[in-house]
Structures are given as structure tokens and as C-alpha cells.
Amino acid sequence: MIRGLYTSASGMLALQNRQESLANNLANINTPGFKQDVGVMRAFPEQLLSRMNDQEGLDVPGVPTMPGQPAIIGRLHTGVYMSEALPNFAQGDIEETRNPYDLALMDNIQPDQDGNERRLFYSVARIEDVTQPAQEEDIRYTRNGNWSVNADGYLVTADGYYVLDNQNQAIRVNDPVSGINAGQDLKINEAGELLYKDPNTNEYQSLAAHPRLGLAVVTNPLMLVREGTNVFRWEGDINVEAIDVAEANDQAALAAGTYATPTIAGRYGMQQGWRERSNVDPGQTMTNMMSVLRAYEANQRVITTIDGTLDKAANEIGRVNG
């Protein structure tokens, strides 16, 4: 009886966490590249119950009653909690912005042989000294391709992270030193190569200092730590590989005849002048919120009912001339 009180309370607490997660998804319904979090509810570790002062009872399968021991009733989970928020890395729909610094990333890279999901990300970083490549621990991953150019001519995200090329260098599109001003004529093709329009010949040329955009293939992206501000950080065991390295490895493996599970099994591409929208589904989120509300209400009802029973036990049992 008392146990039920805490079970329901834990339910209310878990549902409150769930509501916070859903509210955050809804709040980011217009954030480009946002990936919604799905709350995972899990029962508390189960425990075995036994009957007090009674050794007669049915055997619970797998747990036979020992002579001289209390009879075991069965297993019980005494509550629920939200154990984790699983990001859903599904592709968000893309919208046209006609802005040259917006880039939508699309991929359908297949899972590896162990069934681990693989996703493509842009690499970005906050760098102190922009002339140096970003340190590995500073690199963050994002799907937000809604960029602009800062006062020094570097390509940055809305949150001030520098967009990196495949050598982990910040990309400078307006460079008064070298005289290359890609500016609004910056072109990023489907393979992530950065091009600018040569003012003399009017032809597109590679931005020599920045061969390609720093795309990374992340195996098992669920293990990425969400930092907020649209970026993910990797910690520990997940496998992050630069896409050009991965492609080169795939081709080498193909040539050597050791082509088992390619890293880039599937296609990817970039669309300039478009951006990826958040993948939050408002209908589903709202429905989930309503079911959270009702479940919360039901748990409250259970608590009130148990409280009523306790009330009887405390105030009515044993009362004379009640």
C-alpha cells in the first residue's frame, strides 16, 4: 500500500521529465537542424516480494520456495523513471532560403555491420587562434547549416562557431590578405567542395586554402553529447571519421578486394541556398503531451486514493462509537 504511494510519485516525477523533454522539442520547432529527443521511460529495477509469516505458497517459476523461508509472491517494479532522452536523427525537411550561406545536408548512409546508425555532420569549433587548425577537443558536430559570415570574413554558425574545412581550419570566404573574396558568390557543390568566382575569368575556382567542407561520418551518433546551441560533442568510444578519409578508405578497400561494409554505403549531398528544418513533429509532440498530462492525472488519482485508504486506517480503525 505505502509502496504504491511512492510508485505513483515516481510516475509523476518521470512524467514531469518527459513533459520537459517534449516542451524543449516544441520550443525548437523552428530551429534549423534540431533533432528531437524522445524520452525513454524505464521501470525501476525489479524486486522479489515474499509473504510474511507464511511458508505455504506456489513456486514462482525460476524462484522455488525454500523450506523454512518465506513464500515468494513474485516480481514487482516499484516505480518508473526517465532513463535517457534518445535523439532522433531522422532527416528534417528542407526549406529554401536563397541565402548563399545556407546549406542543407542530406544523407542516407546505411548502418554498419553491427547495426549502428551512421549520420553525417558538419564539424564546427570555437577557435581562439583562427590561423591554426581546431584542436580535436574543440570540435563539435552539428546539422545546422544556417550560417553567416562574421566581421573578419569567416563562415560562422548563428551561435558563433567557426565552420571547419576538412583540415579543421576555419573557412575564410572574405580574405583581404590573399585578396580572395568569395563573398556572396561562394559556391559549395554536392561533394562539399568550396568554390569562388574568379573576378578576372568569371569562372568558378576552388578556394585553394579550403579544399572541402569538414564533413564527418559519426558511427553511433546516439552517444554524442548534446551541448545545446545546436551542437553535439563526442566523448569516448564513438567513431568519427572525416568523410574524405572514409571515401578514400572505401576506394582503397574496393581496389584491394577487402570491401566488406563500406563506410559510405549510401548517398549524401548538399544543397546550397536551402536549410534543414527541425525534425520535430508538432502533432505527435502535442499528442504525447496530452497523454503525459492524463497519465500524470491518473497517477495523482492513485495517490489520492491510497491516501484515502490510509486515512481510513489512521482515523477510522479502532474508533469507538465512530
Partner 1 sequence: MQSLNISTSAMRGIQQALDNTANNLANIDTIGYKRRVASFSELLSDSMNEQPAADNQNRNTPVGIRIGSGARLGMTKLDIGQGSVKVTDVPTDVLVEGDGYFLVTHKIKDATGAVIQEENRLTRDGSFKVSFDDDEQGYVLHTTSGHILTDENGVNIVLPEPVTNIQITAEGALTANGVSYGNIGLWKVDNPDQLQQVGQNLFDADLDSGANPTTKYTNALITGDATLRQGALESSNVSMTEEMSQLVNIQRAYQLNSRAVGISDQMMGIANQLRSR
Are 198 and 178 within 8 A, CB to CB? Answer: no
Longest dimension (CA), the chain: 106
Q: Which is nearer to partner 1, 234 or 268 (CB)?
A: 234
Which of 227, 266, 313, 315 binds partner 1 (CB under 8 A)? It is 227
| 251 contributes a contact to partner 1 by CB under 8 A | no
C-alpha cell at 123: 564539424
C-alpha cell at 107: 544523407
Residue by residue, DSSP assigns 164-188 as BBTTSPBPBSEETTTTEE-GGG-EE
Query: Site map for partner 1, 60-99, x if CB under 8 A?
Result: ---------------------xxxxxxx---------xxx
Determine phi and psi for 204, rounding to 5 degrees.
-75, 130
Query: Site map for partner 1, 136-175, x if CB under 8 A?
Result: --------x-x-xxxx-x----xx--------------x-
| 50 contributes a contact to partner 1 by CB under 8 A | no
The H-or-E segment that residue 72 falls in is strand 72-76
| 310 contributes a contact to partner 1 by CB under 8 A | no
| 44 contributes a contact to partner 1 by CB under 8 A | yes
Q: Which is nearer to partner 1, 143 or 212 (CB)?
A: 143
Query: Site map for partner 1, 174-203, x if CB under 8 A?
Result: x------x-xx--------------x----
| 285 contributes a contact to partner 1 by CB under 8 A | yes
Q: Compute the distance between CA of residue 113 and CA of residue 110 in angstroms, rounded to an integer.
A: 9
Q: Where are the alpha helices (DSSP H) in the chain?
A: 2-27, 243-256, 282-315
Q: Which one of the spans 188-196, 209-217, 218-226, 244-252 is the region binding partner 1 (CB under 8 A)?
A: 218-226
